Amino acid sequence: MSRLLPVYTARIEAARANNRQGLPLGGAWLRNANDLMQEEMLPAAERLYQAEKERVRTDYATAQGFPWVAVGLGVLTVGALGGVQHALYRRTNRRFNVGLLGATAACGVLLVWVTAGHTLASAGLSDSYERGVRSLNVLNDARISALKARGGENLTLVARGAVTVPAGQKFAGQDSYDVAYRAEMTRLLGPEGDGGSGGLLGRALELADDAGGSDPVRTATDRAGEWRERHLKAREYDEAGDYEQALKRVIGAEKDEATGASFDRLDAALEKALAHEQGEFERAARAGGSALTGLVAGALVLAALGTAGAGVGIARRLAEYR
């Protein structure tokens, strides 16, 4: 990505320079820059994105693991202390040893604290994944599809039919950028006539668990549907040879019923939904982490008290034999 980004920027600037001079090479440079983006940069970014998602899943699996070793050692320690006290009771006929009793209580408290703390923390992490990470993944994918669709739509006007799907492939002879646009819109909204329930936005709406999350997703779905309808009108003008009107329908203002205005509102709604889900994730993660607050310091203190109590209890018994 670091190596290719300056190359992409240079090609875009070359396209701008040629376009300002009225040279048709501007469109060729722009298509060349798009090819670099589609064939090399976006796949690299996708691999990075997938690697980060996999790392998050791995981190969650690790963080949610129960500390069986620590709990097992705690149970063995409490059992051993109880066994020592029972042996002393049988040997000395003294029911309680204050030192050993205190050590057992300290170890018992630590065992309960560790078990409850990790159980609550695991529940909080699960909640953060269900209420945050899953929604964030779907919303990010939806935003990526929207951006790809917008790029394909713009390049349809730039290429003006110069780049078509090769023969023998599905949609052969059709504008390849328009085909790419339709594919991303299907991924975003589902097939035409589906009402947006079958695509990424429909999935995001299913995952939203409150009005703060569902309202912006519904807005995004409405704006995406509006975009799809406006795009069809723009294509009608373009195919009829009215390029200026088609251009106005894509990059014009809202009064022109431009697709760009619909895309901007769609992107704003997705950004709002992402911000909400990010907040939900952070709140749930903090709640899970708070269950372990003070556990390390508390464990050290209780372990020290338990060791001291055991030492005092045994020392008192040994002193009786001097």
pLDDT at res. 275? 92
Query: CA 270 to CA 156: how far, in whole Å?
Result: 24
Q: What angle do CA 184, 149, 278 make, to 5 degrees?
A: 80
Lowest average pLDDT, out of 38-42, 53-57, 62-66, 315-319, goes to 315-319
Greater pLDDT, 17 or 311: 17
- Of 263, 174, 181, the residue nearest 223 (C-alpha): 263
Indicate the pTM of the whole model: 0.73
pLDDT at res. 212? 87
Lowest average pLDDT, out of 17-21, 236-240, 294-298, goes to 294-298
Tell me: pLDDT of 322 over 60.
no
- What's the rounded mean pLDDT across residues 101-114? 84
- What's the rounded mean pLDDT across residues 300-322? 72
- What's the rounded mean pLDDT across residues 275-288? 81
Tell me: pLDDT of 220 over 90.
yes
Tell me: pLDDT of 228 over 70.
yes
Among 76-85, 166-175, 177-186, which range has the highest average pLDDT?
177-186
CB of 277 within 8 A of CB of 135?
yes
The string of pLDDT tens digits covering residues 173-202 is: 888 888 888 999 999 998 876 666 678 999
Greater pLDDT, 321 or 87: 87
Q: One-letter amino acid identity for 193? A: G
DSSP-H helix ranges across 160-199: 176-189
Give the 3-state secondary structure of 119-160: HHHHHHHHHHHHHHHHHHHHHHHHHHHHHHHHHHHHHHHHHC
Average predicted confidence (pLDDT) for the chain: 82
Cα→Cα distances 163→37, 82, 184, Å: 16, 81, 18
The string of pLDDT tens digits covering residues 55-70 is: 877 877 776 677 788 7
3-class SS at 24? coil
Q: Which residues share a beta bridge with 239?
A: none
Token pair listed for 90: 């049988």
Query: CA 257 to CA 251: how far, in whole Å?
Result: 10
pLDDT at res. 240? 85
Please list, in sequence order, all residues whose beta carbon lies within 8 angstroms of the beta carbon of residue 234, skipping any fewer than 6 positions away.
Answer: 246, 249, 250, 259
CB of 262 within 8 A of CB of 70?
no
pLDDT at res. 57? 78
Tell me: pLDDT of 108 over 90.
no
- What's the rounded mean pLDDT across residues 18-45? 82
**Domain extents in the chain:** 1-53, 74-319
